[in-house]
């Protein structure tokens, strides 16, 4: 557990800083495709997901990370989706 935190914290900090400085927004990435026909942010999002996928697999192969699959609780997913949707509606998203 400590190894995961020690690996995840600096990566998350650097990634969060880069996203904040680049004014990256998921909503804007998808909205720009339809409104102004610009795919720049969407391509950046896809690149970030691909880098994350490769990075996690490399960490697992090196033995630095051991992923555990949590059980799926549909009630929690339903409640979380409702709360997230309500928050998006209240924020104007």
pTM for the whole structure = 0.53
Q: How many domains does the chain have?
A: 1
Torsion of CA 48, 49, 51, 52, to 10 degrees: 120
Residues 6+ apart with CB under 8 A from 8: none
Domain range for 60: 2-91
Q: What's the pLDDT tens digit per position in 2-21? A: 777 788 888 888 888 887 78
Q: What's the pLDDT tens digit per position in 41-86? A: 888 888 989 998 999 999 899 988 888 888 899 999 999 999 998 9
Which two structure tokens, joined as six digits, stand for 19? 């996203």
């Amino acid at each position: 557990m400590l190894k995961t935190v020690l690996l995840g914290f600096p990566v998350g900090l650097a990634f969060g800083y880069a996203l904040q400085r680049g004014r990256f927004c998921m909503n804007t990435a998808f909205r720009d495709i339809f409104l102004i026909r610009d795919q720049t942010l969407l391509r950046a999002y896809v690149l970030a997901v691909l880098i994350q996928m490769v990075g996690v697999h490399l960490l697992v192969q090196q033995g630095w990370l051991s992923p555990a699959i949590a059980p799926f609780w549909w009630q929690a997913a339903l409640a979380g989706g409702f709360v997230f949707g309500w928050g998006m509606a209240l924020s104007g998203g």
